[in-house]
């Protein structure tokens, strides 16, 4: 590998692969109603598909991604992708809801290949890690957001099962690209699997910044997942009555926020992440307030999607660039702590959103979103205040 780091084509391949892998967690959100119809079940029961997928992702982050410090990252990515292809084809053929539950859990666990790619990229391009992480995370965000558009249209015209069949082919193609374009990276951790997991937990004790950043990420992503999961139910009912493809179109708006991720990464490299985090969380809360005040106006949802997405993406990219400054020999383990908390937040937000929707509809759901947003603001302000005090002491 050349000393100057990754080439543009290698970064593009890593970003594309990460996006294709992580998209599998979000394909189900716009098509939950169609899946409920197929399995003759309630929205509440089919909503657990989203919860299980995100729980699987959280489990994969904790139990699989730390292996990126112990074994060859390229081989780990390819292995995860190979098994994911099999699971996606399984989801295409299974006819029982319990089978879909099981495949959704596995799908989430295997999609963590995206978060083996990020520390791999940082280790190969240390000088521009913020920019590189920003670009790869743009791929992840576009995958998350485009997943809703893609699944909405494919479900509308071919049926929801074809979403997973086509995804299997995309994962296979990107695996071939990874195989031929990226180098092998020697492992840095020499202990056994148990020691890798123990060392991962030790990172929580080592870094207060990691603990605070992980909590912020969990709260922000909880808002994101809760909003997008229940949005399907809200917009498919009165007075909107939108179909899956129309609901998925909102994902195109959110891609605009994802394209700003490299810019956020550059700002994080310049050393002022706390201020960017504060601005991002305020934008997130602004989006929640809009849909709280104007719940039946589609323009409010367009504005909210933009504000929520930019707020979430700015927070996420800044958080990741920040934690990768802690210890370059433990990138995968630090990433595991952060992303496990992040997706536990997402799964919790999804579950809370479904229950709030069931109990109190959109009004209760938006109060729940607001509570999470305020909690994120408290964490951000505490971190911002602490950094200012530290700066004065160092000055």
Question: 56-70, pLDDT tens digit by residue?
Answer: 988 898 899 888 888
Q: What is the pLDDT of residue 4?
A: 55
Specify the 3-state DSSP secondary structure of 160. coil
Q: Counting runs of H as helices and runs of E as strands, what totals does the chain give?
A: 16, 0
pLDDT number for residue 393? 42
Q: What is the DSSP letter of 6?
A: -
221 part of a folded domain: yes
Domain presence at residue 190: no
Cα torsion 110, 88, 37, 101 to 10°: value is -40
What pLDDT, on a 0 to 100 scale, did the predictor assign at position 306?
86
* 387 has pLDDT over 70: no
Question: What is the span of the domain harbouring residue 320?
Answer: 8-181+200-394
216 belongs to a structural domain: yes
Q: Is 186 a member of any domain? A: no
Is 192 part of any domain?
Answer: no
Global pTM exceeds 0.85: no
Identify whether 194 is part of a domain.
no
- Tell me whether residue 1 is in a domain: no
Q: Per mean pLDDT, which range of 145-149, 180-184, 213-217, 283-287 is the poorest? A: 145-149
pLDDT of residue 107: 95
Instruction: Identify the CA nearest to 234 among candidates 145, 345, 364.
Output: 364
Which DSSP state fits 56?
Answer: H
CB distance 153 to 29 below 8 Å? no
Query: What string of H, E and C letters represents the secondary structure of 90-116?
Result: HHHHCCCHHHHHHHHHHHHHHHHHHHH
Beta-carbon contacts of 129 under 8 Å, excluding residues fewer than 6 positions away, are 121, 122, 269, 321, 324
Query: For the chain, how many structural domains are there in total?
Result: 1
* 319-329 per-position pLDDT tens digit: 887 887 788 77
- CATH number at 99 reads 1.20.1250.20
303: in domain: yes
């Amino acid at each position: 590998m050349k000393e100057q780091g990754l080439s543009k084509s290698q970064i593009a391949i890593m970003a594309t692969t990460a996006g294709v892998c992580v998209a599998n967690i979000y394909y189900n959100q716009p098509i939950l109603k169609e899946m409920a119809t197929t399995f003759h079940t309630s929205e509440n029961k089919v909503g657990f598909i989203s919860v299980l997928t995100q729980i699987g992702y959280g489990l994969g982050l904790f139990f699989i991604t730390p292996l990126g410090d112990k074994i060859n990252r390229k081989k780990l990515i390819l292995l995860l992708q190979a098994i994911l292809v099999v699971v996606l084809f399984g989801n295409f053929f299974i006819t029982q809801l319990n089978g879909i539950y099981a495949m959704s859990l596995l799908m989430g666990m295997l999609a963590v290949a995206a978060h083996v790619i990020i520390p791999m990229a940082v280790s190969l391009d240390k000088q521009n890690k913020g920019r590189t992480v920003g670009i790869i995370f743009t791929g992840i965000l576009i995958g998350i957001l485009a997943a809703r558009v893609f699944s909405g249209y494919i479900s509308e015209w071919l049926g929801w099962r074809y979403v997973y069949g086509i995804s299997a082919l995309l994962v296979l193609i990107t695996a071939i690209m990874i195989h031929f374009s990226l180098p092998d990276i020697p492992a840095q951790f020499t202990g056994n699997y148990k020691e890798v997991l123990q060392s991962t937990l030790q990172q929580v004790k080592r870094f207060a910044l990691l603990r605070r950043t992980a909590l912020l990420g969990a709260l922000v992503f909880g808002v994101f997942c809760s909003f997008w999961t229940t949005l399907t139910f809200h917009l498919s009912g009165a007075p909107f009555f939108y179909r899956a493809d129309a609901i998925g179109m909102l994902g195109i708006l959110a891609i605009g926020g994802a394209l700003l991720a490299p810019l956020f990464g550059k700002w994080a490299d310049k050393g002022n992440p706390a201020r960017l985090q504060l601005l991002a969380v305020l934008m997130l809360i602004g989006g929640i307030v809009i849909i709280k005040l104007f719940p039946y106006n589609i323009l409010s949802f367009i504005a909210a999607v933009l504000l929520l997405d930019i707020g979430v993406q700015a927070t996420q990219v800044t958080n990741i660039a920040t934690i990768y400054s802690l210890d370059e020999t433990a990138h995968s383990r630090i990433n595991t702590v952060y992303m496990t908390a992040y997706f536990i937040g997402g799964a919790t937000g999804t579950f809370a959103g479904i229950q709030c929707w069931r109990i109190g509809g959109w009004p209760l759901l938006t109060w729940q979103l607001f509570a999470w947003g305020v909690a994120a603001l408290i964490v951000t302000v505490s971190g911002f205040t602490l950094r200012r005090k530290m700066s004065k002491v160092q000055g």
